[in-house]
Amino acid sequence: LASTALLLPSARCLFDQPVQVKVEGLRSRQKGVVFSSSATYRTDGSGKIDLLRDPSLSGSYFGVEPMGLLWSMKAETLHKRFQKSCALNPHVVKFSVHEEDREDRMLAEVTNERPLTGNGVSRVPVKGRNFQGVLFTPPEGPFPAVLDLCTLMSEKRASLLASRGFMVLTVPVYTDHPDNIKQMHLDHFKEAVDFLQQQPKVGSKGVGIMARSKGGDIALSLAAFVSGVKAVVSINGCNAVVSVPLYYQNHQIISPLGSDITKLITTESGASIIKYGLGDPLAEENKYSLVPTEQAKGHFLFVASEDDLNWDSKAYMDQMAERLKHHGKENFETLCYPGAGHLLEPPYGPYCPSSFHRIVHHVVLWGGEARAHAEAEVHLWSKIQEFFRTHLSCDAAQTKAKS
């Protein structure tokens, strides 16, 4: 009987969808190695392996982890991050099965193609007067509208969210080398918000914004100063404006929170912990760096990873929640993930413990433990979609009025 490797429900699926890996036709109680990351499994009495049921006995992870072969993948060299900046190219994963101690003998092989864009979703580069990005639109409509503020240009999160029924415009916070940017203008991002609201297929009365890290303080500022922002997801963001001053309508509205390069902690691997490098947002000298989130009319979902080694994200989240409570506001939710690191992404990508940080010019530790981080990504991705659907209700009549 020939050995076969199966991917259910299909060998082709969206990047953020789980697959079931099964192997059949092996000898009874035979051990095999699934290659990519690697894990050792023992077949059952029928010569089958099912990753939904069977535990990994050794390798990149242990125990029953149906998607462990994906999130535990590692690069051959240290400090490399899995990047999918353009949504046009699918993530292709090859699963192969080998007999233990016989790496040269392949028993079965199957390829999993994981596109970043769902069927019928259009991808259109757009350029405004002061912003540039990529617009993803699902077929038909109307749709809730979301602005994805990525720190540096990336299409993965936007294209996958569009594949779940949202119109998404992804815009980078840094359009030039970060060292060249001495100030940021909220007007430029407002232009992107306005552009989204004018799209004929948008059915929501306002827009949502999702952002991580530096994009978070821009998202909070848009909610505080710009009308039409109804829902903000801030992932491991700061409650103060970081690095450069923020301007709006030709006036500086928020001063930058300073940093101290001497507070970097270098580890044996060569990667640095930069968590303690930012100033204290609540210190008296930094009070003009805080974003006045109490001015916002929309809703917030604050997300923090407890093991974030880039920023003290949990403290910032708690401070944001406390500020809103102090002003009598209840328009926010908080989500905390123990064991997760800074780089929370859509699920089933390889976990990245460290890589080169293009803003601070250091290899840094991002924090997190691989399994807990992967679980957080699955939960958060579902929560983001639920939050936007709740707070960006669609009105078909409004869509018709635009067309």
C-alpha distances out from residue 245 to 119, 129, 185, 275, 390, Å:
41, 21, 9, 21, 33
Span 114-129, mean pLDDT? 96
Q: pLDDT tens, 64-81?
A: 999 999 999 988 778 888
Strands (E), 271-366: 272-273, 299-305, 332-337, 354-357, 362-365
Is the confidence at residue 399, as pLDDT, over 50?
no
> For the chain, what is the mean pLDDT?
91
Span 87-113, mean pLDDT? 87
Q: pLDDT tens, 272-304?
A: 999 999 999 999 999 999 999 999 999 999 999
Q: What pLDDT band is residue 27 in, cutting at 50, 70 and 90?
A: low
Closest CA to 360 of 246, 210, 213: 213
What local confidence, expressed as pLDDT, does residue 29 receive? Answer: 55
Residue 210 neighbours by CB distance under 10 Å: 28
Return the residue matching tokens 């996958």.
160
Helix (H) or strand (E) holding 401: helix 396-402
Closest CA to 95 of 3, 7, 2: 7
Closest CA to 35 of 104, 137, 87: 104
What pTM value is reported for the model?
Answer: 0.91
The percentage of residues in the chain with a pLDDT greater than 90, rounded to a whole number, is: 76
Q: What pLDDT band is residue 2 in, cutting at 50, 70 and 90?
A: low
Half-sphere exposure at residue 311, Cβ-oriented, CA atoms within 13 angstroms: 30
Residue 100 neighbours by CB distance under 10 Å: 14
Q: What pLDDT band is residue 226 in, cutting at 50, 70 and 90?
A: very high
Span 360-374, mean pLDDT? 95
What local confidence, expressed as pLDDT, does residue 117 receive? Answer: 95
Which amino acid is present at 30? Q
Span 135-145, mean pLDDT? 95
What local confidence, expressed as pLDDT, does residue 1 receive? Answer: 42
H helices within 167-254, ranges in order?
186-197, 214-225
> Does residue 399 sit in helix, strand or coil?
helix
What local confidence, expressed as pLDDT, does residue 72 receive? Answer: 94
Is the confidence at residue 35, as pLDDT, over 70?
no
What local confidence, expressed as pLDDT, does residue 179 receive? Answer: 86
Q: Decide if 213 is catalytic.
A: yes
What local confidence, expressed as pLDDT, does residue 400 receive? Answer: 39
Q: Decide if 308 is catalytic.
A: yes
Span 225-234, mean pLDDT? 97
Phi-psi region of 348 (alpha: psi -120 to 50; beta: other; left: phi over 0): left
Q: What pLDDT band is residue 221 in, cutting at 50, 70 and 90?
A: very high
The catalytic position among 50, 308, 355, 391 is: 308
Q: What pLDDT band is residue 45 in, cutting at 50, 70 and 90?
A: very high
Q: Determine contact, residues 371/307, Cβ cutoff 8 Å.
A: no
**In angstroms, rounded to a whole number, what is the distance separating the alpha carbons of residues 282 and 344?**
25
The dihedrals phi and psi of 39, each to the nearest 5 degrees, come to: -150, 145
Q: Give every CB contact of residue 98 below 8 A, 6+ residues apart in sequence.
A: 32, 33, 35, 104, 105, 106, 107
C-alpha distances out from residue 64 to 39, 50, 61, 69, Å:
11, 10, 9, 11
Q: The dihedral of CA 357, 335, 243, 176: what is its sign? A: positive
Is the confidence at residue 402, as pLDDT, over 90?
no
Which amino acid is present at 175? T
Is the confidence at residue 250, as pLDDT, over 80?
yes
What local confidence, expressed as pLDDT, does residue 394 receive? Answer: 75
The catalytic position among 342, 362, 373, 391 is: 342
Provide the b/e sequence for 230-252 (b: ≥16 CB within 10 Å): bbbbbbbbbbbbbbebbbbeeee
Bond prior to 9 in cis (omega within 30° of 0): yes
Is the confidence at residue 362, as pLDDT, over 70?
yes
Q: Give every CB contact of residue 342 below 8 A, 6+ residues apart in sequence.
A: 212, 213, 236, 305, 308, 309, 310, 311, 313, 366, 367, 368
Domains recognised in the chain with CATH numbers = 4-114 (2.60.40.2240), 122-402 (3.40.50.1820)
> Does residue 53 sit in helix, strand or coil?
coil
Span 321-331, mean pLDDT? 98
Q: pLDDT tens, 299-317?
A: 999 999 999 999 999 999 9
The catalytic position among 3, 60, 213, 289 is: 213
